[in-house]
């Protein structure tokens, strides 16, 4: 498929951009297209492809009357015979009656076996693709922690199982202007207080201290929009139940970064001393305390 000249809009969470010269659907890469379609689109594509194949072979049978025994000379009969042949069902009522019919049905059976194998493989890939089920807070916050302004992003484990060896990265995208007047976006890796978490069971607060060495030093809620600051959060962990590494990303535009706010407690302790994480409160925030102290963060 040739690349189109019009811009293609791409949206990942709140992060949206456009590309020109790239095709949204590239038939030269059918595997990527098949695994990226949504489930309704995927099954609709399978139905249309199956229908197209059967219509093509039905037309071949119909153009040669008498090639199918026990069949009324009609396109409908040819279509249903094609459907049975492609699925390799063979009810035993209609059958190829001429050399032409045998040749066409043999080719169709080969196509049916290949089509079934491909569809089975694609469905298996789509079902077996692990999902992280990380619960990201709706907003990032900038609050005081141990007397230092700190960027925080809270993440919850949405699975009932434990995740091991979790690793996180936060990258900031800043719009900058060079000395020659060129405007560009530059990525800055934000140093996290704890980038690894050996046992991710409940929640995890990703924290970046905004000191003089931080790319976010000197920023305020008013200057965020001017630089169009965006935070990209990358998280991966080992899911022992699936035996696979799961990963996900989330982004925060300027209006999703709240200064002077902190996360409300989402982890409590029940009467038996067991910690309980309320993931419905993963995004709950409130203003900083008047004394400037942030609450204890429970992971």
> In angstroms, rounded to a whole number, what is the distance separating the alpha carbons of residues 94 and 77?
9
CATH 1.10.287.70 segments of the chain: 37-128
CB 109 within 8 A of CB 89: no
Question: For 283-295, what is the mean pLDDT?
Answer: 72
Best CA proximity match to 80, nearest among 110, 97, 57, 47: 57
Model pLDDT for residues 50-108, shown as the tens digit of each residue? 999 999 999 999 999 999 999 888 999 999 999 999 998 888 889 999 999 999 999 99
> In angstroms, rounded to a whole number, what is the distance separating the alpha carbons of residues 275 and 88?
57
Tell me the fold of 37-128: Helix Hairpins (1.10.287)
> In angstroms, rounded to a whole number, what is the distance separating the alpha carbons of residues 200 and 191?
20
Q: How confident is the model at residue 296 (pLDDT cuts 50, 70, 90)?
A: very low
What pLDDT was estimated at residue 17? 66
> In angstroms, rounded to a whole number, what is the distance separating the alpha carbons of residues 40 and 257?
35
CB 123 within 8 A of CB 96: no
Domain 134-287: state its class: mainly beta
- Indicate the SS3 state at residue 16: strand
Nearest-Å Rg of the Cα atoms of the chain is 29
pLDDT at 298 over 50: no
Q: What are phi and psi of 156, to 5 degrees?
A: -120, 150
Question: For 34-46, what is the mean pLDDT?
Answer: 91
CATH 2.60.40.1400 segments of the chain: 134-287
């Amino acid at each position: 498929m040739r690349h189109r000249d019009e811009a293609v809009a791409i949206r990942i969470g709140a992060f949206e951009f456009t590309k020109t010269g790239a095709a949204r659907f590239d038939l030269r890469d059918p595997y990527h297209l098949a695994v990226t379609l949504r489930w309704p689109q995927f099954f609709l594509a399978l139905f249309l492809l199956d229908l197209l194949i059967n219509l093509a072979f039905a037309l071949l049978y119909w153009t040669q009357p008498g090639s199918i025994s026990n069949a009324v000379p009609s396109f409908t009969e040819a279509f249903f015979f094609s459907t049975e042949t492609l699925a390799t069902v063979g009810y035993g009522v209609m059958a190829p009656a001429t050399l032409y019919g045998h040749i066409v049905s043999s080719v169709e059976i080969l196509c049916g076996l290949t089509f079934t194998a491909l569809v089975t493989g694609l469905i298996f890939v789509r079902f077996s693709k692990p999902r992280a089920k990380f619960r990201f807070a709706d907003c990032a916050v900038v609050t005081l922690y141990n007397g230092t302004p700190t960027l925080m992003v809270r993440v919850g484990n949405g699975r009932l199982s434990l995740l091991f060896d979790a690793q996180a990265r936060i990258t900031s995208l800043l719009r900058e202007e060079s000395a020659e007047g060129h405007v560009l976006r530059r990525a800055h890796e934000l140093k996290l207080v704890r980038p690894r978490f050996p046992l991710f069971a409940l929640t995890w607060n990703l924290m970046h201290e905004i000191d003089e060495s931080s790319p976010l030093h000197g920023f305020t809620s008013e200057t965020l929009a001017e630089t169009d600051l965006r935070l990209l959060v990358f998280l991966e962990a080992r899911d022992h139940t699936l035996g696979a590494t799961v990963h996900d990303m989330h982004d925060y535009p300027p209006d999703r970064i709240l200064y002077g706010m902190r996360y409300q407690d989402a982890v409590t302790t029940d009467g038996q001393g067991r910690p309980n994480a309320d993931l419905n409160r993963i995004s709950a925030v409130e203003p900083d305390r008047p004394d400037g102290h942030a609450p204890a963060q429970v992971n």
